[in-house]
Amino acid sequence: MKREELLRRIPRVDALCRESCLEGFPQRARTQGVRQVLGDLRQKLLSGERSTIPTPGQLARQARRLLLARRASGLRPVLNCTGVVLHTNLGRAPLSRAAVKAVVGAAGYCNLEYDLDSGRRGSRQDHVEELLCQLTGAQAALVVNNNAAAVLLAVSALSAGREVVVSRGELVEIGGAFRIPEVLQQGGAILREVGTTNRTRLSDYARAMNAQTGLLLKVHPSNYRVVGFTEEVPLRQLCQLGHGHGLPVVADLGSGLLLPACSTLAEEPRVADAVAAGVDAAAFSGDKLLGGPQAGILVGRREAIQRMREHPLARAVRLDKLNLAALEATLRIYLEPGRAVRELPVARMLLLPPEEVKRRATWLQNRLSGQNVHLEIHPTAGRVGGGALPTRMLDSWAVVLEPTHGEAQELEALLRRGRVPVIGRLQQGQLWLDLRTVPQGQLELLAQLVEGALAKLDQPD
Ligand SMILES: *Cc1c(COP(=O)(O)O)cnc(C)c1O
Read off the DSSP letter of residue 318.
B
- Closest residue to atom 5 of ligand 1, CA basis: 147
454 lines ligand 1 (CB under 6 A): no
pLDDT band at residue 461 using 50, 70 and 90 as cut-offs: low
Q: State in Å: Cα 111 to ligand 1 middle.
A: 29
The answer to whether 408 touches 426, Cβ cutoff 8 Å, is yes
Residue 70 phi/psi, 5° resolution?
Answer: -70, -40
172 lines ligand 1 (CB under 6 A): yes
Sequence length of the chain is 461
Q: How far is CA 160 from CA 63, 154, 280, 301, in A?
A: 57, 9, 16, 19
214 lines ligand 1 (CB under 6 A): no
The answer to whether 248 touches 209, Cβ cutoff 8 Å, is no
Burial of 176 (0-12, 13-18, 19+ CB in 10 A): exposed
pLDDT band at residue 300 using 50, 70 and 90 as cut-offs: very high
The residue among 175, 350, 169 whose CA lies nearest residue 257 is 350
Q: State in Å: Cα 284 to ligand 1 middle.
A: 7
Q: State in Å: Cα 149 to ligand 1 middle.
A: 9
Beta-carbon contacts of residue 274 (< 8 Å; ≥ 6 apart): 235, 251, 253, 282
Q: For the segment 206-222, what is each residue's pLDDT rounded down to a tens digit? A: 999 999 999 999 999 98
Confidence check: pLDDT of 369 > 80: yes
Q: At what angle do helices 126-136 and 321-335 cross, to 10 degrees?
A: 30
Read off the DSSP letter of residue 168.
G
Confidence check: pLDDT of 1 > 80: no
- Which H or E element spans position 399? strand 388-403
Give the global pTM. Answer: 0.89
Q: For the segment 140-166, what is each residue's pLDDT rounded down to a tens digit? A: 999 999 999 999 999 999 999 999 999
222 lines ligand 1 (CB under 6 A): yes
33 lines ligand 1 (CB under 6 A): no
252 lines ligand 1 (CB under 6 A): yes
- Closest residue to atom 15 of ligand 1, CA basis: 254
254 lines ligand 1 (CB under 6 A): yes
238 lines ligand 1 (CB under 6 A): no
Q: For the segment 11-70, what is each residue's pLDDT rounded down to a tens digit? A: 999 999 999 889 888 899 899 999 999 999 999 999 988 889 999 999 999 998 888 877
Q: For the segment 169-215, what is each residue's pLDDT rounded down to a tens digit? A: 999 998 777 899 999 999 999 999 999 999 999 999 999 999 999 99
The answer to whether 453 touches 431, Cβ cutoff 8 Å, is no
Q: State in Å: Cα 179 to ligand 1 middle.
A: 10
What pLDDT was estimated at residue 328? Answer: 98
pLDDT band at residue 242 using 50, 70 and 90 as cut-offs: very high
What pLDDT was estimated at residue 391? Answer: 83
- Average pLDDT over the chain reads 94
- Report the C-alpha gap between 10 and 28 in whole angstroms: 20
Beta-carbon contacts of residue 363 (< 8 Å; ≥ 6 apart): 443
Taking the alpha carbons of 148, 154, 156, 161 in that order, is the dihedral positive or negative? negative
Q: State in Å: Cα 148 to ligand 1 middle.
A: 6
Q: State in Å: Cα 456 to ligand 1 middle.
A: 41
> Which one of 179, 285, 317, 384 would you pick to mutate in the ligand 1 pocket, going by the greatest count of ligand atoms within 8 A of its CB?
285
Residue 323 phi/psi, 5° resolution?
Answer: -65, -35
- Report the C-alpha gap between 335 and 324 in whole angstroms: 17
